[in-house]
Every structure is written in C-alpha cells, then in structure tokens.
Amino acid sequence: MSSRNPIRFLFLIPIMLSLCFSASCLDLVLPADGGTSSATNQTTGGGTSQGKTDGNADQKPSGNTTVTVRFFKDGEPLGDGQSMRKGNLLSLPTFTLQDNAAYTYSILGWDANGDEQPEVFPYSVTEDTDFELLYTKTEKKYQVDIYDRGECVYSEELSYGADIPYPTIENTITEEEVYFFRGWSYDGVFDGYLYPYVSKSVRIDAVYADGQILKLYYDLYLYSKLKMAGDSLDFGADFKIAPSAGKAIRYYTDDTYTTPFTGSCMPEGNLTLYAREESIDASLPTVHVTSREDLLGVFSQQLINRQTAMEFSLDYTEDDFDSLLPYLKAGSVSYQGYEIETSLLAKILTVDVTYPEVATKTSGAPQYRQIASLNVTPVSNKRSALFDDFAADKRTKEFPVKNSDALYYALEHGYRPVIDADATDIIALYNTMKIFLREAVSDDMTDYQKVRAIYEKLILDTVYDKAVLEMVQAEAKGLTAYRAFSLEGVFLDHLAVCDGISKAFASLCAMEGISCIRVSGKTVEGNGPHAWNKVKLGDNWYVVDATAGGTIVGDTEVLTYSFFLLSDSTYAAHAVEDGTYYADIHATADYPFYDALTVKVNDNTYSLTITSAKDGAALVEAILAAYPLAERSLDLRLDMGLTDTAAAIQAIMNETKVSTSFQYVTSMNSVILIFNS
C-alpha cells in the first residue's frame, strides 16, 4: 500500500499503547471493550512533571502561552490530551500496534493537518494541535498443503479465516483395493473433527481406516464395514437391516442369487455378498395402518430402505383415494425422483416403487458469485465449537436415517434423527449443519433473530445452480443424480436449487426448535416448479423463500429481504403453492420487517426505510467513506413519496456530496444498492 495514501483501519482486538512527550511520559491504555482510559501523568519526587523543552523546570504553562496537544487513532482520542508551552518541540510519541492472526501493522507516523502525510518530529507546537495516527496493515498468508495417500493434491497460501478447499474423497472399494475414508489429520493429528477455516500453516492428510472390508449388496444399496479375519458375522447388527414381516433375508456369494453363503465368520481377505428379501409365506406381507399419518410414517421408512414393493391394510376410513398418492409423495422423504404405482382393492393398498440412482453429481463451478451484504449483523455471543445442545436432538420420537432425504424428513416432521452408524457421510453432513448453526445463531437470540440469521447465512453461503436449472428447463434425464436437490448440495457443494435450499432452511429451523415446513408450487413468471418455506413465529406462519432471497443481478447474487416473512397473498405475486400438502397452514399477514430495519456504518446507525433524499444521501456517503475499496450490497425500502424508483434514486444521487459509485435493482417491495469496488 502506498505511503502517500494510508488507509485507516478499525481493530477488533484490544491494543496496548503508550505516548511519550519530551522528558515526561504520558501512558495510555486502550481497554478490551474499545473505550479509551483517561491519561495520567507520571510523577517524580512528589511533583507532577509536565512536558518541558525550554529547560525551565517545574514551571506550569499559563494564560494564552499554553497549547493543548491531543492524539487520535481512527478518530478516537488517545487519553485526555496534554498542555504544553506554545512553541515547544514535541518529540515523536512512542506508540505500538500489535499484529494479530490476520494482519501485520506498520505505523507511518502522525498527521497534524489532515493532509494524511506524517509530520516531522521534533514538532514545534504553536497552537492547539490534534495528531491522527497513520498506519497500514498487511494481510498475512498461511501455507496449506493437502495430501491424499502421499500425493499433494493442493498447495496454496491462503488468508486467515479463508475456507479450506478440501477435495472430495470417495471411498474406493473394489476386489483389488480398499480405501475407507475416515477424515483429515492436521500436522499428523487426527481427532475426527473437520476444521473448515485457515488459522495457521498446516499440512492436512486424508486418513483411511485399516482392516478388511465386508461388502453387502442389498435392496439397491451397497453396505460396507471393516472386519477382521475371524470376526463373527451378524448382518442385522453389522448393517442394521432386518426383514419385513413375513419375509427373510438370504445371503449369496454371487449377484445371480444361486450360491448361498453359509459361513458365520469373516474369512481372510475381503468378502462380497449379495442379499435379498424372500418370502417366508407365499403372500406379500401386509402392514396395518390406522391413519393417513401412520401410513405416511411407515411409507417413508420403507422409502428410506428403498423397498420396491409395499402392501398396506388401511384400517381406517379413507374417503379420498385420489388425494392419497399426492399426500404420500409430498410428505415423504424424497420430493422427486422415484416413481410410484398404486392400486386399492378391498382396503388393501399395493405400492410399487421405482428408484433413480443415488445423487452423487455436482454440475461444476458456480456461474454466479456472491456479493457481501451490509445488512448482515455479526453474531455476538457466538456458540463454542463444542456446542451440541440442539433442540432436534432432544425429541422423544425417533426416526431412522440412512441418507440426507431421511435426515431432512426426520427434522421437518419433528423426529429426533437416529443416523445409522455406518452412514458416515450423513453423520458428517449433520455435523456440518451444526457448524452452520454454531456460526449463524446464538442462544440469546429470539426465534425471529435466529430465522433471520439462518436466512442470511443460507443465502450468502449458497450459490444458485444455474446449470441444473437449465437441465430442468431442457427436461434432461438423470436430474436426480445431482446433489443440487439435496442437503449435500447446500452444505457440501454450496451449489443448489430451490429444492435443496428449502430443505436446508426447514432442517436448520427444526434443529433450533422452530416449526418450519417446505412448500411446493409453481412460479408466476414462467410457471416453473418451485419450492419455498413457511416458518412459525409466535402464533403466526410466514412465507420465506431463501432461493429468491439471493436475487440474481447479472453474474452476481445479492441478499434481499423481499422474500422474507411474507403473507401468502403478498408472495402470490412470485409463486403459488399447489396445495397438495400442508394445505391448512396459511400465512395471513406480512411481518413488519422493514419498519425497524437499520444498518450500522462505523459508529452511526441509519434507518433502512428512506423517507427523504437527504437521508438516502447521508447513508450513501457513509458507505462510500467506510468501504471505499469493497464491493457491498444493501437492501432497503424507499418511502420518499415518489412512485418512480429511478426518480427516487436520482434524487438521492443529486443530494449526495461525494462521487457516487453504485447501481441498484428493484426486488418486490425493496431496492438493493450495489456498491462496486
């Protein structure tokens, strides 16, 4: 950074400092809370020594022969100032800035006349003088090396706090080689925890489990488990699988199911088996259900196990069979992908299910980039990295979970997710979701504040997957293979469409004990499929669309609250729900969100309901001064009595006294200002 144009920075850490004048010393301490303590003169021999440069000891300045010298940092006074004789020479003050983990600081000097150039010391003081500290900061870089099986797959210097770009590690299980991924070690230490951010220079190595692999193909799933030679084989305990009523699971050594496996212990080397359900009785086993809700619960659990044939005895009065299938599809663990055929005869419901392939793909690099938002307020009292007291884990009702759709279903429907011990990828996914909440919310927040924080972080952490949208519009095949429709797309790839984003929002709210559902329907413009949420605050439900809240402007995404806490009638201008499920939940009123919305720039707070060009100009000037080299967005509402947004923006620009550099875009009932770097 050029010394001719020093930039002033705010510090987030306490700084110890001292200023020394001539023969006496004025010591100042900046407390941890950011305030400035009063300066106190050091005493010698029982008297108070003031600054002296003329040799006249112990003479106190008086009358108009004295001047006051004060020192400032970032506009804040360092102590109470000091009086001295007019014309005395002031020595260079002693002042120290501590480096932190992110930056190194260099002091350039002290500016007495506002030209942002350091003064030459000793400095002759002829009038009351305020000195401003001039300094620069240099970002620190940390070396991050990532290795997989001895091969360096990533090596780069990164900034403090940057995301660590972990590569995707796939388990390799073949007859020739077995690599069972467990996690990452850091400088040789493996504790099972994923460290998402750069905090030091580090070597990171992929860690794999040791031992032999038992593989089991069952019901379209490939199960795997580490086993040692001679270990007993208990498939029910090893893989948590059990046969349906009236059926048995039988095991074979070949995929044609012709050679039964009769062993009871793990042999030397890897073992691959194939299993299937076979009827004990000739008839298909029947599950008795006593209500629609009971049917949905059993149906969902069988979907998790990818059961292809189901039979239910409806031991209740079903008055509307035509709506039963849409009810099951809308409320089950997977929103789309599988195909169902049903028949009803003598109150026996037969269901045949065809499943798509498991979602493992991503579309590639994001086509949009996120712009930071000035609306977001930093979290105070952030939870510790060990916090694990989530409301969802305290529920009494349990639901078995083996995949991410089951995790979403369990959370949204009020169950405590019980994740299969072998589903290590889902355990890791759930832990990632917990890290998200530890960073986004704090325990002293209200439910409204938590919902807002989740909305903001979800939008700023997730880029809309335009490539998958184009595949949907082209009616491409194999869409269900993409993780953009799932929780993995949001929390692992940070690249998703409305399906995955709405599932993530519902899941995160549920983890905090806030009632939230996912709603499906069609957009008004384009009439395309869409998914969003309704969240309950107090006694009222409100519409939240975190997908639309990441408004697209050119090749960027910006945060807007236009789709936050709306009524059904207001949101109907954007999308209309299909009403097949949760049809009895209505959002009847808009939440008065913008009424109290403010933004803090430096130490000043501004309302984000702009009622005059003067107020708008003051806000724009403050932002341009505080973030001269940063790209930021700001969502606000214009209430200036002008029906034309362009006219209102022009009025603000005309009132602004500095050179402006921003663009704007309208979104529903708000305006987003985008300040370019």
Q: What are the boundaries of each domain within the chain?
A: 16-139, 141-208, 212-279, 290-354, 369-591, 595-675
Q: Per-residue pLDDT averaged across 623-645, rounded? A: 87
pLDDT at 545: 96
The pLDDT value recorded for residue 340 is: 82
3-state secondary structure of 201: coil
Q: Is the pLDDT of residue 104 over 50?
A: yes
What is the assigned CATH class of domain 369-591?
alpha beta
- Kindly tell me if the per-residue pLDDT of 176 is higher than 80: no
Q: Is the pLDDT of residue 30 over 60?
A: no
pLDDT of res. 608: 92
Average pLDDT, the chain: 82
Instruction: Enter the DSSP assignment of 498.
Output: H
Cβ atoms within 10 Å of 503's Cβ, excluding its own: 27
Would you say residue 40 has pLDDT above 60? no
pLDDT digits (tens, 9 = 90+) for 497-510: 999 999 999 999 99
Task: Please state the rounded mean pLDDT for residues 511-515.
Answer: 96
φ, ψ of residue 587 to 5 degrees: the values are: -100, 105
pLDDT of residue 173: 66
Tens digits of per-residue pLDDT, 522-540? 999 877 889 999 999 999 9
The predicted structure's pLDDT at residue 19: 41
What pLDDT does 348 receive? 74
3-state secondary structure 382-445: CCCCCCCCCHHHHCCCEEEECCHHHHHHHHHCCCEEEECCCCHHHHHHHHHHHHHHHHHCCCCC
Q: What is the mean pLDDT of residues 3-30?
A: 33
Second-level CATH architecture of 212-279: Sandwich (2.60)
pLDDT band with cut points at 50, 70 and 90 for residue 181? confident
Which DSSP string do the residues of 289-358 spell out, in sequence order?
ESSHHHHHHHHHHHHHTT-SEEEEEE-S----GGGHHHHHHHHSS-SSS-EEEEEEETTEEEEEEE--PP
- 466 vs 47: CA distance, rounded Å: 75
Which token pair is 666? Answer: 């309208």
Is the per-residue pLDDT at 5 higher than 60? no
pLDDT at 142 over 50: yes
State pLDDT tens for residues 573-603. Answer: 999 988 766 778 999 999 988 888 899 998 8
pLDDT value of position 594:
84
Least confident segment among 101-115, 246-260, 264-278, 526-540 = 246-260
3-state SS assignment for residue 380: coil
| pLDDT at residue 258 tops 80 | no
Fold match between 141-208 and 212-279? yes
The pLDDT value recorded for residue 305 is: 61
Helices and strands, number each (H, E), in the chain = 12, 45
Q: How far apart are CA 153 and CA 147, in angstroms?
A: 6
Q: What's the pLDDT tens digit per position in 565-576?
A: 999 999 999 999
Q: Of residues 35 and 134, which shows the higher confidence score?
A: 134
- Using the predicted structure, report yes or no on whether residue 637 has a pLDDT greater than 60: yes
Whether the pLDDT of residue 39 is over 60: the answer is no
CATH architecture of 141-208: Sandwich (2.60)
pLDDT at 641: 84
322-333 residue pLDDT tens: 888 888 877 765
Sheet-wide strand order for 556-559: 369-370, 556-559, 550-553
Q: Which residues of 295-325 are buried (b: 16+ CB within 10 A; e: fewer)?
A: bbbebbbbbbbbbeebbbebeeeeeeeeebe
pLDDT of res. 14: 33
Q: What is the pLDDT of residue 473?
A: 85
**Is the domain 16-139 a CATH 2.60.40.4270 member?**
yes
